[in-house]
Amino acid sequence: MKRIISVVVFLFSVFIAFSQSWGEYTLYSKTGDTKTYLLDLTGANYKTWTSATNRKTGYSSYMIAGDTLVRTVQNSGTFGGGGGVTGGVQKVTWDGTVVWDFTYNSTTYCLHHDICPMPNGNVLMICYEYKSSTETVAAGCSTSRAINSEKIIEVKPTGATTGEIVWEWHLWDHLCQNTSSTKPGYVTSIVQNPQLMNINYGVSSGTGTLDWLHMNGIDYNEELDQITFSSHNLNEIYVIDHSTSSVEAASHSGGNSGKGGDFLYRWGNPASYSATGSTIFNVVHDAHWISSDHPEYPGFLSAINNGGGTGGKAAIEFVDAPLNGYTYDITLGQAFQPTTYTDRFNTSYNSQGQGNSEQFPNGNMLLCVPSNTLTYIYEVNDAGTTIWSKNISGQVSQAHRYEKCFIRPVNAELSATELIVCPGENLTLATSATAITESSPTFSYAWTSVPEGFSSDEANPVVNPVQATTFNVIVTNDQSGCTDEVSITIDVYSTPDIPVISENGNLLTSTTATYYQWYLNGSAINGANSQSYTAEETGTYQVEVTNSDGCSSMSGEYYLEITGIDKELKSEITIYPNPNSGLFEINGDGYFNYEIISSHGNTICSGQNSGVFDLSNLSDGIYYVILKTYTTVKTEKLILIK
């Protein structure tokens, strides 16, 4: 924006020159109306929500992620009165379903004016808090009068109509006064205590309940974890710490700032804390932060000055607050800096109160100024030139602009038939996507992977990773061009070492593994599932080993030629009893050698000719005896059972 800019806005119903507009959809609702509108850049209604006649709009409406409308509703109930009372908040989905209808009012408290949807799904709400004349006098007020004080509550939706207050701040916990040393909050100097509200400022004598601050705008800064709000009647904007607990928020210490719930910053009317300086605001609304990516006002505070601009017209104030970490610099005894606005944008309209502005990353700004019977909603570029406008009959408290894909998002999900597989094992990646703002959406898919190497345009591709791999897919709504990106990581088990076959006669033994399967000439041998296998015919042998994760490795081919006449050898040499508990007797005619080996292929003992061998010191299991004569070799299985 240029310094002190005034513009003339063409009073057409819609001024269309939006090629440089930021975003695409503008949300607004009229106070006391049952309809909420979402306009496209042509000024046409893209979407309309219609509420029940007993749930008319109270003040403001917002869109949040998930295609959901959040709005204040008029439901003041038995509360005695005050400006801009609402009493309720709703969340409404795209199809018009009210998924949350929260009411918060009684004879002593009631929601009013603005709300602030938070990133965590909760909602910050401004609330009147009634204080009787007895309570105000007891707190040090020199005027005996009932007043509506203020509190801020953070509400977490817990059901269709219920909510939990997870954080709260009460102005009444942060008062000061210098009229009576015997009453709470006494200080000798108001100006030395700008962190507190002087209970005697702005409290005049009169009848009825005084609407003291008349808070009207609220905003949340996630990066700082701070809240700003504005006061219509005291012409100030304030900043408080939200990082506190509710207990700390009632005190003067704690939180990121170390100051509990005291004011961290206040600006616009130094007289409210007895400081010297000009009153800038003439009815302020819409205190908010400008985003940190704004090209000219990064992180500034801003608000609409309803009657403080040129010729008493509305102006937008930009304030570069003296932020220092989580606090704001001040010289005690003086006013918070700056002494005047850092920059100002003058509108061409007389405001009837309310209104707001939004500053966009491209330097453009959206303004909403309710004036007499019309509300002017328009967008200006960074030179102050109007590039889009819409005039609304009636009072619109706020208008908000959103980018196309915020309003028309794609919601994608990704799953897999398995999340961990053996190397090279096939699995299917399954993508699902919705775009509830579209009538019959179709989608396109673009896959990549880390490590690189995989690509596909299918919704549900088959993959076979050989190492841990993250698969990413960008899902595009073919109608809107909006996208969503999701990813999934597939882990890969390790494989067992490739087994090695050793030979002892016709006994083949694999290196150690968990499970075994022997093959002959490429075919699995039925029942050959031990570490060792006695070959009975000439051929090419292999062993496949499998670990506890179910992953396998195959040995190389091992050719074995069987010689000798096994049947003759078996009839000549006998081993008995088999099975038994340890003592085996071997008998045979003529000369022969024998060798006892374990299932792992290790030699346990050996000998010659007939005799007895003792395996009783070994564990139960299967062992092998290799019998050798001058011309033949034979392997017999021994079963040890104790």
CATH of the domain at 572: 2.60.40.1930
Kindly list the distances between the CA atom of residue 574 and the CA atoms of 32, 457, 634, in Å, as whole numbers in the listed order. 105, 69, 12
* Beta bridge mates, 325: none
The β-bridge relationship of strands 483-492 and 420-421 is parallel
Residue for token pair 């002017």: 376
Residues 546 and 611 reside in one and the same domain: no
Which of 433, 462, 492 terminates a domain? The answer is 492
Residue for token pair 């993250």: 470
d(CA 22, CA 490): 40
d(CA 209, CA 247): 28
Confidence (pLDDT) at 8: 33
d(CA 638, CA 598): 10
pLDDT tens figures, 158-195: 999 999 999 999 999 999 999 999 999 999 999 999 99
Residue range(s) defining the domain that contains residue 540: 501-560
Which residues, 6 or more positions from 97, have their beta carbon under 8 angstroms from its beta carbon?
A: none
* Beta bridge mates, 229: 218, 238
Ramachandran angles phi, psi of 312, nearest 5°: 75, 10
Residues 364 and 472 reside in one and the same domain: no
Scored b (16 or more CB within 10 A) or e, 239-256 reads bbbbebeeebbbbeebbb
Which residues, 6 or more positions from 164, have their beta carbon under 8 angstroms from its beta carbon?
A: 155, 156, 158
Q: CA 229, 230, 232: angle at the middle one, nearest 5? A: 155
Amino acid at 87: G
Residues 83 and 136 reside in one and the same domain: yes
Domain total in the chain: 4
Residues 59 and 147 reside in one and the same domain: yes
552: number of CA atoms within 13 Å, CB side?
11
Residues 448 and 525 reside in one and the same domain: no
Confidence (pLDDT) at 636: 83
Residues 269 and 294 reside in one and the same domain: yes
Kindly list the distances between the CA atom of residue 109 and the CA atoms of 77, 357, 580, in Å, as whole numbers in the listed order. 10, 29, 90
| Position 367 in a domain | yes
| Position 205 in a domain | no
Kindly list the distances between the CA atom of residue 622 and the CA atoms of 511, 527, 619, in Å, as whole numbers in the listed order. 16, 14, 9
| Position 26 in a domain | yes
| Position 208 in a domain | no
| Position 206 in a domain | no
CATH label of the domain that carries residue 474: 2.60.40.10
Which of 492, 520, 544 terminates a domain? The answer is 492
Residues 437 and 512 reside in one and the same domain: no
Confidence (pLDDT) at 136: 97
Which of 511, 535, 560 terminates a domain? The answer is 560
Residues 465 and 358 reside in one and the same domain: no
Residues 442 and 570 reside in one and the same domain: no
| Position 200 in a domain | no
Kindly list the distances between the CA atom of residue 432 and the CA atoms of 39, 441, 445, 458, 480, in Å, as whole numbers in the listed order. 29, 12, 11, 12, 17
| Position 201 in a domain | no
Residues 239 and 161 reside in one and the same domain: yes
- Residues with pLDDT less than 50, the chain: 1-18, 565-568, 570
Kindly list the distances between the CA atom of residue 503 and the CA atoms of 541, 542, 568, in Å, as whole numbers in the listed order. 11, 12, 22
Confidence (pLDDT) at 610: 87
Residues 540 and 581 reside in one and the same domain: no
Residues 391 and 417 reside in one and the same domain: no
| Position 203 in a domain | no
The β-bridge relationship of strands 507-510 and 501-504 is antiparallel
Confidence (pLDDT) at 505: 85
Q: CA 498, 501, 503: angle at the middle one, nearest 5? A: 170
d(CA 307, CA 340): 16
Q: Are 399 and 422 in contact (CB under 8 A)?
A: no
Would you list the DSSP string of 106-161?
A: -SSEEEEEEEEE-TTS-EEEEEEEEE-HHHHHHTT-SS---EEEEEEEEEEE-SSS
Q: Are 97 and 74 in contact (CB under 8 A)?
A: no
Amino acid at 155: V
d(CA 348, CA 313): 7
